[in-house]
Amino acid sequence: MPDQKNILVVSAHAADFVWRAGGAIALYAQRGYRVRILCLSYGERGESQGSWKQPGMTIDRVKEIRQTESTRAAGILGADVSFFDCGDYPIVITQAVIDEMVKEYRELQPEFVLTHPYLDPYNPDHPTANQVTLQTRVYAQALGYPAPGKPLEAPPVFMFEPHQPEQCEFKPEVLLDITPVWDMKQKAMESMEAQGHLWKYYTDLGSRRGTQAVRNGGHKSIKYAEAFQRVYPQVTDQLT
C-alpha cells in the first residue's frame, strides 16, 4: 500500500517488544499502520529460561523456539518481524547490521520509532539496542550515507518501559491507553512460553499504568496503559 504509514520497533530480544510495547503495536496496527519489528537477537542465552530447563536443549533449538514464539506474538499484534541474529549476552553490532538498519529506516520512513531506554544495569543488551537505534536513525538522515532510498526526516523516538524503571532512570512521560487492544497483548504475552514467569508482572504493570493514566487526566474508561519516554522534544503549536 503506497500511502500506508509505517512504524519501526527495535527490540533487543525476541520477547522485549511484547512485554513493553505490545499494546502500542496492536493499537497502531488496528489503525491501519504497518508495524515493522526488528529483533536484534533471539535472546537465546539470557532470555529463554523456560527453554533451557528442558532436557537436551541446544542453542540452535532455543533460537528456533524463540523465533516461533516471537513470530506468533507479532502476528497476534498485527505486525511483521525480522531477526538479525546478533547473539545475546552480549549483542554484537556489526557494520552489516548498521547498514541493514539504515536501509530499514529509509525504506519504511517511519512515523515514529519505539525502542529501549538509555540505561539498564540488569541487561546491557538493552542499552546496546537503544544506541544502535539512535545511531542508525542519524545515519539514515545523512545525505552522504551510502544506502539506497530517500534520506530519513526526523521521526520521534519513544523509549518503552524497562523491567525495573527506577534503576534504569526511566521517566514515564507518555501514558498510552491500550485498553481496546489489551486482550491482544495478553494473548501475545502468553505465546512467549519460555518466559511465562513474566505474564503476571506485565499484566499488573499494564493495570497500574492504566490507573495512573486516569489519575493524570485520562478518561475513566482506561483500564490498561503503557508508559513511554521521549528522546527528542515534541514540536507543537499549542500546549494542551
**Residue 196 confidence (pLDDT):** 84
DSSP element (H, E) containing 178: none
| Cα 189 from Cα 48, distance rounded (Å) | 14
Q: Is 151 exposed, middle or buried (0-12, 13-18, 19+ CB in 10 A)?
A: middle
Q: Decide if 128 contacts 12 (C-beta within 8 A).
A: yes
**Residue 2 confidence (pLDDT):** 62
Cα separation values, 141 from 103, 151, 193, Å: 11, 5, 38
Nearest alpha-carbon partner for 160 in 150, 147, 174, 146: 174
**Residue 51 confidence (pLDDT):** 80
Low-confidence ranges of the chain (pLDDT < 70): 1-2
Locate the domains of the chain by residue range: 6-230
Tell me the per-residue pLDDT of 191-234, one tens digit each, with 9 for 90 and over. Answer: 988 788 899 999 999 999 999 999 999 999 999 999 999 999 99
**Residue 57 confidence (pLDDT):** 79
CATH number of 6-230: 3.40.50.10320
Sequence-ordered list of residues with C-beta below 8 angstroms from that of 208, at least 6 positions apart, any chain: none
**Residue 50 confidence (pLDDT):** 74
